[in-house]
């Protein structure tokens, strides 16, 4: 069973990390590794996050970033914003938007984990997204085996 790794890096650093992952290595540095999901499930999460923060309909499709690695994909800015907004988005009523997104994501077909683990993954991913600083030329990247 494969895994997906999500991390913040510059373009060059992302390519280097992808080379290590492509070769079966374990790169150093902070990342979120999720076993049993592919880039498709990450795109589903982006759609759910966008809808939850009332930013549905934006481009949440991951895109190839360089011909050097077809397993490395970039997260579009709209999806980065939607994920980051999950940490601070306020709804009317008692609901927690991050928890709601995690529950919906865990309920998707063939998800390899339940709500508690999904909640942990979504929170970590939202924290990664919220730490992106355009001035540092960082982006959010997805590597999928």
Q: What pLDDT digit, counting tens, does each position of 25-51 carry?
A: 999 889 999 999 999 999 999 999 999
Q: Which pLDDT score, from 0 to 100, does residue 90 have?
A: 73
CA distance 132 to 7: 10
Please choose, from the candidates 83, 3, 90, the residue with its C-alpha nearest in 3D space to the C-alpha of residue 43. 83
Q: Which pLDDT score, from 0 to 100, does residue 93 have?
A: 63
Whether residue 135 has pLDDT greater than 80: no
Q: Which pLDDT score, from 0 to 100, does residue 58 have?
A: 85
Please choose, from the candidates 50, 77, 91, 54, the residue with its C-alpha nearest in 3D space to the C-alpha of residue 141. 77
pLDDT band at 136 (very low <50, low <70, confident <90, very high): confident
Query: Chain-centre distance of CA 70, in angstroms?
Result: 17
What is the DSSP code string of 22-36? Answer: HTT----S--EEEET
User: Residues with Cβ < 8 Å from 133, sequence gap 6 or more?
Assistant: none
Q: Would the CA dihedral through 66, 9, 30, 106 be positive or negative? A: negative
Could you tell me the residue ranges of all domains in the chain? Answer: 3-144
């Amino acid at each position: 069973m494969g895994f997906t790794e999500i991390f913040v890096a510059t373009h060059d650093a992302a390519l280097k990390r992808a080379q290590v992952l492509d070769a079966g290595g374990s790169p150093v540095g902070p990342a979120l590794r999720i076993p049993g999901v592919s880039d498709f499930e990450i795109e589903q999460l982006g759609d759910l996050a966008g809808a939850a923060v009332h930013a549905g309909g934006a481009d949440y499709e991951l895109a190839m970033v360089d011909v050097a690695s077809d397993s490395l994909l970039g997260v579009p800015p709209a999806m980065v914003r939607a994920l980051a907004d999950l940490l601070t988005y306020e709804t009317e009523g008692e609901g927690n938007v991050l928890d709601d997104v995690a529950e919906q994501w865990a309920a998707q077909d063939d998800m390899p984990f339940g709500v508690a683990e999904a909640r942990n993954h979504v929170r970590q991913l939202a924290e990664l997204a919220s730490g992106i600083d355009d001035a540092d030329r960082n982006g959010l990247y997805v590597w999928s085996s």
